[in-house]
Amino acid sequence: MLLLHGIASSSVTFHHVIPLLERTHRCITPAGAAELTGLATRRTQLEGEQHKLLQAHYAGAIPLDLLKKEQDRITASLETIEHRINAHHGHYADARANLDDSLKLLSNAGLRDGCQPLKRSAHLVGNERREEPMMASLIDVASDERTARMVLSMLVEPNDPVTGRILSRLGAVETLWLAEHDGAVVGLSPVDAQVWRDHLSAPGAKELTARIDQAQQSGVRALIPGDSDGPTAVNELGEVAPYVLWIRGASSFLSRPMSDLVTITGARACTSYGKYVARELASSVAGDERVVVAGGAYGIEGASHQAALAAGGDTIAILANGVDRPYPVGHRDLLDRVADVGLLVSEVPPGAVPTRHRVIARARLMAALSSASVIVEAGARSGSLLVAQRAAELGRRVGAVPGPVTSAASVGPHRLLRDGTASLVADTSDLARLVERDQAPRVGLDRELVFPRSPSPTRTL
């Protein structure tokens, strides 16, 4: 009533402000706010279901076809939820515009007291949690390049060329400023700029500050371009270079020459033959005082880490989740051991869970960090083949281990060899030649184990 009385007694008449407030009321209703909160809660639940499904699949509890069916169901539900949330946000945007216009009219009329409740309303509109502002903007959280890149990794998924292009041109602080302010973005049309902003996940300033503090207190470090112990090899990724690398362990491994790093990867569901070869190759790399790079997963990668550690060598695990969250759970002890004597690396922040996109994005890091990548075993659709593809695109050397022609786990390496993408790696001397070592290679694999003799004569394929 005091607000309306002030309006009536000023030069700002009812027909100026009241229609704006009425339109705001139509845009925002208690039922709409409750529905938006419910949608956000359901979205979180579905994302949790996705994570549990992936864990169950990696543990062998559910087959791949059932995983895909459930993922399709969850994805469809998430798309519906996002559509409804976006509709609500459109209503809130209209309400914010009406409130902003009301604020201008009241401010111009000198009614400062009337502005205060509307300012509070303008903040609460579109804020699902109805929290008071802790900080004015992202820039208040991150005013320097390092912190800004840390925040950016919490807002944007990795392997985003649009964000990478803006980041390389303007720096992280300016990128964050553009992310929360309307206006022109260099290299993007107005529509593309808004699409880019809409894709950013924007937690509150209080939450971002807490996550950064927690990461720093846990001993997790963040490397950015220009750091003395940062890898220069990833700069060759250009627009899809990581915004920041979160690390846990010996960061000096990343400052070693790229020729000292060798990636060994392959199928999670590998054969005993594949594990044997992976262990022999990793032991050879460790014996040559080089670094074994793998992804920490079950199968070929886990065997490679274990062999490198057993040989007293160095190893790096590139993760698709936060370095503070051992995944898969069955490799907790292994990954903790790697963190103690080796290095865990991720481009997603602490606390992040693995997703399909992050696993795919990780392939480019595994390829870029090393001078050579070796595929031991891989099915026709194995994600490890992406490592070979990215390595070839970057001009890195690629090796593939042959296997039985009847083995589904060797379809991927055979395809790489047939297409000329990879060189044959049948023993450790082949690996030594692949990485162009000057010293004599180690003793090769047992040929009879790699190519078992048949009990009876067979025709040559």
Peptide bond into 328 cis (omega under 30): yes
Mean pLDDT of the chain: 79
User: Which pair of structure tokens corresponds to residue 34?
Assistant: 């409750």
CB-based contacts of 214-217 (< 8 A; 24+ apart in sequence): 214/350, 214/351, 215/150, 215/246, 215/324, 215/349, 215/350
- Give first-to-last CA distance, the chain, whole Å: 92
Nearest to 422 by CA among 407, 437, 434, 433: 434
Q: How confident is the model at residue 84 (pLDDT cuts 50, 70, 90)?
A: confident
Phi, psi of 363 (to 5 degrees): -55, -35
Contact 267, 300 (CB under 8 A): yes
Sign of the dihedral defined by the CA atoms of residues 376, 380, 384, 387, in that order: positive
Nearest to 253 by CA among 222, 293, 220: 293
Judge whether residue 317 has pLDDT over 90: yes
Read off the pLDDT of residues 142-164 as tens digits, 9 standing for 90 and up.
Answer: 878 999 999 999 999 999 999 99
Read off the pLDDT of residues 395-446 as tens digits, 9 standing for 90 and up.
Answer: 999 999 999 999 999 999 999 999 999 999 999 999 999 987 434 333 444 4
Q: For residue 130, with 0-12 CB atoms within 10 Å meaning exposed, 13-18 middle and 19 or more buried, which class applies?
A: exposed
In 231-355, at which residue ranges do the beta strands (DSSP E only) sit?
245-249, 261-265, 291-294, 314-318, 343-346
Kindly state the DSSP code that residue 452 receives in the 8-state scheme.
Answer: P
Sign of the dihedral defined by the CA atoms of residues 445, 446, 449, 450, in that order: positive
Q: How confident is the model at residue 180 (pLDDT cuts 50, 70, 90)?
A: confident
**292 three-class SS:** strand
> Which pairing describes strands 397-400 and 372-375: parallel, antiparallel, or unpaired?
parallel
CB-based contacts of 104-107 (< 8 A; 24+ apart in sequence): 105/12, 105/16, 105/17, 105/20, 106/7, 106/12, 106/17
User: Which pair of structure tokens corresponds to residue 421?
Assistant: 């993408």
pLDDT in the model for residue 104:
56
